[in-house]
Amino acid sequence: MGGMARARAARGGRPSGLLALGVVMLVLLAPGGCGYHADVPALPGGAHELNLQRIDNLTDMGELDVRLRAELERRFSHMAHVRLVPAERSALALHIALVNLRIDRSLDPAISAERSFAFTLNGTLTLTDLRTGRALISGAPVSAQVVRLHDPSVLETPAIRDEGLNDVVARFAEEVEQRLFRTF
């Protein structure tokens, strides 16, 4: 019997749990010990406070602004590094204008055996540094599209339209979030 096999036999034939724990701890703690840390998306100028201003809904579809505000508030409330606050306590102000909503309906058997509803929402985004009064992003276009496929026998109903609107608003909010944190 070799030396390693004798040592294992003396311990009952299984590797040391302490050794395995040590290796796991080394893998988990080594990156933090050398100064490495995961990047947290940041707003410009080290800001942590954001004021979500009134959302202008210039589309023909009512309440898109209410849906978008609720979705953005939900997204930002889950971010430890961003706080939504009133304008007087905020470093940054976010203004959004919803400019156009288009719903395209199609049923083309040559392309698909399904009925499609494509929801496209276009708008603009402006981010202002309230500390300096300077626009950091001014009127930048934001667009989102969602396509929902249904059986050809399905007709457009308020429920289908509502689901599509919720999906395109969520996608638009995702685009706003990516724009805010990708830019800086």
If we measure between CA atoms, which residue out of 97, 94, 96 comes closest to residue 128?
Answer: 94
What count of other Cβ atoms lies within 10 Å of the Cβ of residue 110?
Answer: 4
Tell me the backbone φ, ψ of residue 120, rounded to 5 degrees. Answer: -125, 125
pLDDT(184) > 90: no
The model's pTM is: 0.74
Other Cβ atoms closer than 10 A to 21: 10
pLDDT in tens, 54-104: 999 999 999 999 999 999 999 999 998 899 999 999 999 999 999 999 999
Secondary structure (H, E, C), the chain: CCHHHHHHHHCCCCCCHHHHHHHHHHHHHHHHHCCCCCCCCCCHHHCCEEEEEEEEECCCCCCHHHHHHHHHHHHHHCCCCCEECCHHHCCEEEEEEEEEEEEEEECCCCCCCCEEEEEEEEEEEEEEECCCCEEEEEEEEEEEEEEEEECCCCCCCHHHHHHHHHHHHHHHHHHHHHHHHHCC
Residue-range domains of the chain with CATH = 3-33 (no CATH), 44-182 (3.30.160.150)
**Distance (Å, whole) CA 106 – CA 97:** 28
- Residue in 136, 132, 146, 134 with CA at minimum distance from that of residue 181: 136
Q: Which of 74-83, 85-94, 107-116, 126-135 is the least confident region?
A: 107-116
Alpha-carbon span 18 to 40, nearest angstrom: 34
